Amino acid sequence: MRPMFLALPALFVLTACVEVDMNVEILGADEARVTGYMQVDRQMFEMSGQDVSFCDPEDGGTLVMTDTHARCEIDQTGSFAEIMDDGGEGGPDDIQAQLVHLDGNRVRALLPLSAMSGQMEDMGDDPQTLAMARQMLAGLSITFSVTGQSIESTTGTLSQDGTTASVTLGIEELIAPGAALTDFETIATY
């Protein structure tokens, strides 16, 4: 199982105009369910040769084509190792998320967004590239959330019912020169 959003190359997000909305639900000491979607502009998808590898059915993906987007809808349940396994494809530019059982019924979920900050600095050095990226990515966002029986602590935004923590990154957070992103860390109970 390849966690398409958990080992997310930061520059892929920018160059492929990907919009992401993913949730990890903590089900037990070593079980989680990932649901959500990733979508790319249909023109970009067609220009890239309609490569469907970003939406492998073995990884819980279902490709849905609309007039405007190629959308990969995800629904996969597995152990933490299965959910986190990138199939050996992870590279130095990937953001390696973690799910770790702490004790009792507590799990730590970490998405080290601060690792993206350095990757974005190169783009900020080229005003033309930065302007083009802003235009291409206007209105796009990346949302990650963690759901459990309850959320003990989070660096993200806590839902009103106390069961979900989330973080949403818009265009400005991703490509603003000198922007420092904060890791998204949540401790959830199951």
pLDDT digits (tens, 9 = 90+) for 35-82: 999 888 888 788 878 777 778 888 889 999 999 889 999 999 999 998
The Cβ-side half-sphere exposure at 159, using a 13 Å CA radius, reads 15
Residue 98 has what pLDDT? Answer: 92
Q: Dump strand ranges (E) for 59-121.
A: 61-65, 69-78, 94-96, 98-101, 106-111
Residue 107 has what pLDDT? Answer: 98
Residue 1 has what pLDDT? Answer: 41
Residue 95 has what pLDDT? Answer: 61
Counting as low any pLDDT under 50, the low residues of the chain are 1-15, 90-93
Residue 125 has what pLDDT? Answer: 63
Token look-up 């000491």 returns 29
Whether the predicted model's global pTM rises above the 0.85 cut: no
Residue 118 has what pLDDT? Answer: 54
Domain range annotation of the chain: 7-189
Token look-up 């249909």 returns 42
Q: Alpha-carbon distance 27 to 40, whole Å?
A: 29
Q: Which of 127, 97, 120 is nearest to 171 (CA)?
A: 120
Token pair in block for residue 72: 């990969």
